[in-house]
Structure 1
Amino acid sequence: MARGDYDLHMEGGVSCPLGEEELFAVMDLVLHEEGVSRPCMVSLSVVSDDRMRELNGEWRGQDRCTDVLSLECERPDDPDLAPGEPCELGDVVLAPAYIARQAEGFGTTPADECRLLLVHGMLHLLGYDHLEEAEAQLMEGREDELLALLGTDHALDHVTLTRHREGEGA
């Protein structure tokens, strides 16, 4: 499987606890493990809390900051895509300052939380959701499996109730 085609946007003055190569490796892992063989394009933005609040208001009608947003464009299995045509999967937006504060509350590190939320955002682009209990359990289980495959010493032994069960993110 070919690596995805990623476009990384870092807002000025914002830093991410994961480097560019690790961000891309996490996205590659999700695409590979989900069996995506079609070339996919994903835009990843790392933004301030203020910018995330604006985006969350614009796209979800929520006037507050959140940790991750996923904006789906196309699905890799879309029958309207020609064979071999790249899929514009969508956009994932991360707010690392918000993620760092959230990590403290969950007893994880900002890097661990960022990995989880990037996996979470990518799964949303691939059609996973957590609106219904059964969907949430499926998505949480998949997050656990993918995080284990990353081979890091992450502190997330189990994604206990995805951070978005209450509808705050993605």
Structure 2
Amino acid sequence: MNNLAFKNKSFHCFKFKEDFFNILEEARKEFGTKKPVSVDVLFVTKNKMKKLNNEHRNKNYTTDILSFPLESEKELDFLDEVQLGQIIISPWKIKKQAKEFNHGLRREFCYIFAHGIVHLYGFDHMTEEEANVMNGHVDNIMNRLNIKRV
């Protein structure tokens, strides 16, 4: 069984944990991971996210998600599960984006989480080509779960 360690240090009441588990399972299938996967998720306030984004990316603004892949998969191959890494989420930013893009809150949280999981699998969006590949994986996961933009 997949493992989702979850800690909420924001003021947001989170309602989509089951969806996050489903996204984790679909990502495992998407990338052909045979073992269960494990991800740590932390929700933080907008100010804390701004500070973390500045520390880790030299960007002085609040972002929606930060992903920190665990890059020792081969060294930890003896474990019964694959530890993908950590994800930090700003519920404040996700709520703001949902309103801006006219997306439902569930859809926005799930999309951002799937995006973060794909990052943990080593994908990025620095170029248009990379973005297309990455977004393709995110769309595959979202479509299989029937989570739409509404």
Taking structure 2 as the reference length, the TM-score comes to 0.89
SS of 1:29's partner is helix
Give distance in 1, aligned partners of 2:83 and 2:66: 16
Q: Which residue of 1 aligns with 2:19?
A: 22
On the 8 A contact 1:8/1:44 being kept in 2, the answer is: yes
Q: Which residue of 2 aligns with 1:89?
A: 84
Q: Which residue of 2 aligns with 1:105?
A: 100
SS of 2:63's partner is coil
**Alignment map for 1:103-142 (pairs within 5 Å):** 103-142=98-137
Cα deviation, 1:9-66, whole Å, max 9, x if unaligned, reads 11152223x4322222222221222211133321011221112112112221212100
On the 8 A contact 1:38/1:84 being kept in 2, the answer is: no
Number of matched residues? 150
Give distance in 1, aligned partners of 2:9 and 2:78: 35
Which of the numbers 64, 69, 72 marks the counterpart of 1:72?
69
Asked if 1:37 corresponds to 2:34, the answer is yes
Give distance in 1, aligned partners of 2:10 and 2:108: 22
Q: Which residue of 1 aligns with 2:140?
A: 145
Give distance in 2, aligned partners of 1:14 and 1:61: 26
Give distance in 1, aligned partners of 2:131 and 2:146: 24
Q: Which residue of 2 aligns with 1:160?
A: none
Shift of 1:81: 3.2
On the 8 A contact 2:30/2:137 being kept in 1, the answer is: no
- After superposition, the CA RMSD in angstroms is 1.9
Give distance in 2, aligned partners of 1:62 and 1:99: 17
Shift of 1:88: 2.4
Give distance in 1, aligned partners of 2:71 and 2:50: 25
Q: Which residue of 2 aligns with 1:7?
A: 5
Taking structure 1 as the reference length, the TM-score comes to 0.79
Give 5+ residue unaligned stretches, structure 2: none
Query: Given residue 155 of structure 1, which amino acid in structure 2 is its aligned partner?
Result: R
SS of 2:18's partner is helix
On the 8 A contact 2:10/2:43 being kept in 1, the answer is: no
